[in-house]
Amino acid sequence: MQGKTCLITGANAGIGKAAAIGLARQGARVVLLCRSEARGRAAMDEIARRSGNGSLDLLIADLASQRQVREAAEEYLQRFDRLDVLLNNAAVLAWRERRLNEDGLEMTFAVNHLAPFLLTGLLLDRLKECAPARVVTVASGAHRKAELDFDDLQNERDYSPFEAYSRSKLANVYFTYELARRLEGTGVTANCLHPGVVSTALFREMRPWQRVLLWLGRPFLLKPEAGADTAVYLAGAPEVEGVTGKYFEKREEVRSSPVSYDTGAARRFWDVSESLTAPSTG
């Protein structure tokens, strides 16, 4: 990864930080996109120490805000002339209640799908300029339990935290496959992955009884380093050069859920996502 520049969202903790360490160890310049400057700088210090690579930079943005996503993309384009890998990693799971962001959109859907959709689109020209380049999106095996309801993309009816999360992860798969089709011939690839069930900050909003169950199951959860392994592999491994529009687990290409291969639904969902991320004219 010498001479490559990688942008990782949610890079101050969990899978994102572990991926940053892995890519920095391979010699990449790594740009961390984090919500908190304090946590971002603390992560940079740790990544530099553990990787032996101090070629690290920081962008600050709350991915729940489309305004901040746009500002972060603009800042990136001003500060960095390369983008070889975009790793869409950041995600939330609102365990307690349905919440809206400042754009009036359901939080899980906004952060887990619309934010990477918008960020990728804003940085796509830079990726094409640096081709061969890669877009890697952290999805989840939870997508297998979901179907998109185009009449309820905001999860307004009978809100279920895990169902909202599962739908957002199916959205990641749809996005990846449709992006790969649209990027055909550009030299930019798009793939997604299931990292495994990893002990991360996704569980921080659990209710007390849920935390008890998590504690009982903790021995079976993967460490972030193991969860990041496939993401690092897809970001840099020469053997996946040119591979695109695929879903991976444990570095192996596998089939995603049957509904995820519905190309008509993917095109329709892309159009809806474009409308939901269009600049406000108000």
CB contact at 8 A, 98 and 49: no
Q: Which two tokens stand for residue 80?
A: 């960095």
Max Cα separation, the chain?
51
Instruction: Report helix, strand or coil for 188.
Output: strand
Distance between CA atoms of residues 92 and 111, nearest Å: 7
Instruction: Report helix, strand or coil for 206.
Output: coil
Count of helices and strands (H, E) across the chain: 9, 8
Q: What is the DSSP string of 23-83?
A: HHHTT-EEEEEES-HHHHHHHHHHHHHHHS---EEEEE--TT-HHHHHHHHHHHHHH-S--
Distance between CA atoms of residues 163 and 141, nearest Å: 13
Distance between CA atoms of residues 266 and 277, nearest Å: 16
Q: Which helix (H) or strand (E) holds 127?
A: helix 115-129
Respond yes or no: is residue 165 known to be catalytic.
yes
Q: Which of 76, 165, 174, 177 is catalytic?
A: 165
Listed in sequence order, the residues at least 6 apart from 130 whose beta carbon sits closer than 8 Å to its beta carbon are 5, 82, 83, 84
Residues that are catalytic: 165
